[in-house]
Amino acid sequence: MPPCSTKCGKNAILKRPKTGDVLCKECFFEAFENEIHFTITRAKLFKPNSKVAIAASGGKDSTVLAYVLKLLNQKYDYKLDLTLLSIDEGITGYRDDSLETVKQNRDDYEMPLKIMSYKDLYGWTMDEIVAEIGRKNNCTFCGVFRRQALDRGAVLLKVDYLATGHNADDIAETVLMNILRGDLARLSRCSAIITDSGDGIPRVKPLKYTYEKEIVMYAYFRKLVYFSTECVFAPNAYRGHARVLLKDLEKIDPSVIMNIIQSGESLKINESANMPTLRKCNRCGFEQRIAQARDWQVK
């Protein structure tokens, strides 16, 4: 391997997928962590002395998020009170195993962990629902319920922010997906780094500009414990197409991921465009999509 591009004197051991720089392990850690610190400070993601729930699935993104937030909190004295929040959807062979990883993270990173389950919140598990109605649309509805469960958890924990592990690839994929669907309402919201959950607790995405490949590399070189199995139920097929398209484009030019995010950020919806309104359900107070999922639940 050639020398590290920072001229630190060490030999490089990797090529950064995002920039093409060849770096040694220590310089990669520094570049990776500094970029997340820059994202956090530039967007003013957190106010000092705030309580932050990290939405922890046990997967690579939220594991790296928990690790890096703890590290940056200490290094730069953000003065954040960090806690882990996990949702147990009740999917045997998937979430039960990944929650064991989250418990390991809780011990390793010395952060409290709160687990909320669909069974306690809604009275059923995803295993039971799929046994009843099959796999059609289960991924979409499960996502809606997870959002609501995370919101409820954030309220219960009295946190000021809910941080999720969405990475640059996830955001670019969502921008692409909303373009392909012509979903203007979501298109204008999906690239925001801070979104309001509806309860006044902002959701933040500190890994918004972090490439998935680099997250995997970081977790590997830091020897972080994470869970990497796909959900046992049907994946979200439409997102799968957007993912394949993005990965193919990334092979040609890795900057396509940042370009799509920046395009999403710069898009301005024409005032005369026909926008669907986000209505609130008059029974539960949550947005209509959640109410639709609830109606699906009682069918």
Ligand X SMILES: Nc1ncnc2c1ncn2[C@@H]1O[C@H](COP(=O)(O)OP(=O)(O)OP(=O)(O)O)[C@@H](O)[C@H]1O
CB of residue 20 to ligand X, shortest distance in Å: 24
| CA dihedral of 146, 171, 267, 256, whole degrees rounded to 10 | -170
Contact 65, 54 (CB under 8 A): yes
**Binding characters for ligand X, 267-296, by CB under 6 A (x = yes):** ------------------------------
Residue among 61 and 214 whose Cβ is closer to ligand X? 61
Burial level of 264, CB count in 10 A (0-12/13-18/19+)?
buried
Interface residue with ligand X among 18, 70, 106, 166 (CB under 6 A) is 166
Q: Rounded to the nearest 5°, which phi and psi values hold at 266?
A: -85, -10
Point out which span in 34-42, 74-82, 131-139, 163-171 binds ligand X (CB under 6 A). 163-171
* 170 labelled binding-site residue: yes
CB of residue 6 to ligand X, shortest distance in Å: 28
* 165 labelled binding-site residue: yes
Rule CB under 6 A: say whether 101 interacts with ligand X. Answer: no
CB of residue 58 to ligand X, shortest distance in Å: 7
* 55 labelled binding-site residue: yes
Q: Rounded to the nearest 5°, which phi and psi values hold at 124?
A: -150, 165
- Residues 46-85 within binding reach of ligand X (CB under 6 A): 55-57, 59-62
Rule CB under 6 A: say whether 164 interacts with ligand X. Answer: yes
Interface residue with ligand X among 126, 148, 165, 197 (CB under 6 A) is 165
Distance of CA 5 to the CA centre of its chain: 30
| Total chain residues near ligand X (CB under 6 A) | 14
User: Which residues are within 8 A (CB) of 63 and not within 5 positions of it... i.e. 6 or more apart?
Assistant: 56, 101, 105, 165, 219, 224, 225, 226
Contact 143, 37 (CB under 8 A): no
CB of residue 79 to ligand X, shortest distance in Å: 22
Interface residue with ligand X among 39, 83, 86, 191 (CB under 6 A) is 86
User: Which residues are within 8 A (CB) of 255 and not within 5 positions of it... i.e. 6 or more apart?
Assistant: none
Query: What sign does the CA torsion over 15, 20, 22, 25 have?
Result: negative
Residue nearest to ligand X (CB): 59
* 31 labelled binding-site residue: no
* 264 labelled binding-site residue: no
CB of residue 30 to ligand X, shortest distance in Å: 23
Please give the angle made by the CA atoms of 46, 52 and 56, to the nearest 5 degrees. 125
Interface residue with ligand X among 24, 53, 66, 87 (CB under 6 A) is 87
Q: Are strands 51-55 and 81-88 parallel, antiparallel or unpaired?
A: parallel
Compute the radius of gyration of the chain from its Cα atoms: 20
* 61 labelled binding-site residue: yes
CB of residue 237 to ligand X, shortest distance in Å: 15
CB of residue 226 to ligand X, shortest distance in Å: 7
Q: What is the layout of strands, in order, in the sheet containing 113-117?
A: 113-117, 81-88, 51-55, 161-163, 202-204, 194-196
Q: Which residues bind ligand X (CB under 6 A)?
A: 55-57, 59-62, 86-87, 146, 164-166, 170
Binding residues for ATP: 55-57, 61, 87, 165, 170
Binding-site residues, in ranges, read 55-57, 61, 87, 165, 170
